[in-house]
Amino acid sequence: MKMLGIAVAVVALMAQAGSRVLDMRAAHGFIPAAAAATPDLRNSVAPSPQTGLASWYGVKYHGRRTASGERYNMYARTAAHHNLPFGTWVRVTNPRNGRSVIVRINDRLPSRSHACIIDLSYLAARELGIERCGLQEVSMRVVRNAGKPLPQN
């Protein structure tokens, strides 16, 4: 009975931690890599702009591991997105002031974060002029897919 309780606790922790635990477990051979792999969206990413809210994160997460495994650097031009492949480059534009920045996706938005389409590093937010307000309506367009450039139309 005690083992069942431990198994339930492990499953609950895995659900809470999300794909990071699955990726780690797959890397160490505990589960098949196919079960932990995120879907390959390289060919399905629409190059058309997406609009919605952007937020940013900074000091609290500086130096922590991102979902891609690299350390978060608040002074790098990076961002978190729900499902774009890691390594995808996107141009984010603030329509209020016309500023734009190109960022690389290296993290995932929390599953509870449905309001935002992208979570920017502090540097990217500062360059867009949204570091003071915290949330801002933005336009986002993929400029280069992970691993290969977008076709020029």
In this predicted structure, the answer to whether residue 129 has a pLDDT above a threshold of 50 is yes
What's residue 152's pLDDT?
53
* 49 or 3, greater pLDDT: 49
Per mean pLDDT, which range of 58-62, 86-90, 135-139 is the poorest? Answer: 58-62
CA distance linking residue 41 with residue 78, whole number of Å = 19
| Residue from 2, 133, 1 nearest 56 by CA | 133
Q: List b or e across 103-140, with b for residues whose CB sees 16 or more CB atoms inside 10 angstroms.
A: bbbbbbbeeeeeebbbbbbbbbbbbbebbeeeebebbb
Cα–Cα distance for residue pair 38/41, rounded to 1 Å:
9
pTM for this predicted structure = 0.63
**What are 18-75's pLDDT values in tens digits?**
444 444 444 444 444 444 444 444 444 455 788 999 998 877 778 788 888 999 898 9
Q: What is the mean pLDDT of the chain?
A: 73
Q: Which helix (H) or strand (E) holds 106?
A: strand 100-108
Q: In the chain, what are the domains? A: 2-36 (no CATH), 50-148 (2.40.40.10)
